[in-house]
Amino acid sequence: MFVGLVNGKPLASIVSAGLSKFGKREGLYARELFAEAVKEAFDRCPRLEPKRDVKAMFVGHMGEAYEHQGHMGAAAADWAGLLNVPATRTEAACASSGVALLSGVYAVLSGLADVVLVGGVEKMTHRSTAEVTEFLAMASDYPFEQWHGITFPGLYALMATAHMHTYGTTETQLAHVAVKNHYHGSLNPKAQMQKEITLEAALASRVVASPLKLYDCSLITDGASCLILTKPELARRFTDQPVHIIGAGQASDSIGLYERQSLTSLRATRLAAQKAYEMAQITPDDVDVAEVHDCFTIAEIIAYEDLAFCGAGEGGKLAETGETRLGGRLPVNTSGGLKAKGHPVGATGTAQAYEIYLQLTGQAERRQVKGARVGLTHNVGGSGATATVHIYRSEA
């Protein structure tokens, strides 16, 4: 039996969702991308009257540096046509909109807001790779990591090296993650990278931070995403196909990788997942489809283990079996993931939830997981200092 924690009811319900096209969106500001995602969400939900019904907004946005623009909550509300709605920006690096989603759940559960818009946005591609690398590095520890020149490819390369040393994980297993996610991305019309790649191409791509190669790394992306949440008892007022959030967890760890207990596991993910599973009263075996934080291929392999989809050290083998590919036992990152769909950092958490919303309402088209009823999203900030996990159930 799938239930939530609050009096046997789900925590909150998704009644609509929107996503901008991901990729290099030249000539647009972040606020315009957010308006694109919001328009889709409003168009999907004709029973909603936004100016009357929406009572609060939470918008994930990582950095002012990209556009020299802060105060994104108010800016996003303005361009969403919701000037009178209290709007708050949430920031937790790449988990910014995962935290926005949880903040929206809190608002609904508190009773202070019956309908909440949550989302995220980032505009990145107009900056050089060097600038983006510097801005992203701000999510790591300044005096002990940034100061010494370590970048996020470098940090995740350390994790990959440790995982290989401890468990025998191989570069070929990492490449299997990339090949799978590019295949899924090729089926997603909103993905940045809509092309398949071969295992040989992935393994032959240039080294970025050994052992991570070009195809092991997620993309610099522009994009926005959003969801409309409401109380479960009100969901049918707005849609005939609500998706219920039945579990949610957030946890933190040391910001510096050098302070962690382990380089082969993210403690924040394990803690957030434990909270979410307990709240939803399910086990990992009950999950039909998942979107996990594959900023690098090693991150997806570690996520398999931390979310208990397999045992410690077995993530590489799971990737190699094809069980996480469409048609497999547990399809993961059917959207293409951060690897192929793209990674506009502030938008990623709610973009993952958008994919699960499509899957659980039977709207995922060529990448639809047959019979999917329970979904999971996993969003990580930085090298693992923040993690959120949400669990979803379809109405049917």
Mean pLDDT (the chain) is: 96
Query: What are the tens digits of pLDDT across the range 315-341?
Result: 999 999 999 999 999 999 999 999 999
Which domains are delineated in the chain? 12-127+219-394 (3.40.47.10)
Tell me what the mean pLDDT of segment 328-357 comes to: 98
Residue 9 pLDDT grade (very low, low, confident, very high; cuts 50, 70, 90)? confident
Residue 6 has pLDDT above 90, yes or no: no
Residue 179 has pLDDT above 90, yes or no: yes
Give dist(CA 226, CA 29) in Å, integer. 17
- Residues noted as catalytic: 94, 343
Give dist(CA 323, CA 58) in Å, integer. 35
Query: What are the tens digits of pLDDT across the range 205-246?
Result: 999 999 999 999 999 999 999 999 999 999 999 999 999 999
Query: How much of the chain exceeds pLDDT 70, in percent?
Result: 98
Query: What are the tens digits of pLDDT across the range 24-80?
Result: 999 999 999 999 999 999 999 999 999 999 999 999 999 999 999 999 999 999 999
* 3 state SS for the chain: CCCCCECCECCEEEEEEEECCCECCCCCCHHHHHHHHHHHHHHHCCCCCHHHHCCEEEEECCCCCCCCCCCHHHHHHHHCCCCCCCEEEECECECHHHHHHHHHHHHHHHCCCCEEEEEEEECCCCCCHHHHHHHHHCCCCCCCCHHHCCCHHHHHHHHHHHHHHHHCCCHHHHHHHHHHHHHHHCCCCCCCCCCCCCHHHHHHCCEEECCEEHHHECCCCEEEEEEEEECHHHHHHHCCCCEEEEEEEEEECCCCHHHCCCCCCCHHHHHHHHHHHHHHCCCHHHCCEEECCCCEHHHHHHHHHHCCCCCCCCHHHHHHHCCCCCCCCCCECCCCHHHHCCCCHHHHHHHHHHHHHHHHCCCCHHHCCCCCCEEEEEEEECCCCEEEEEEEEECC
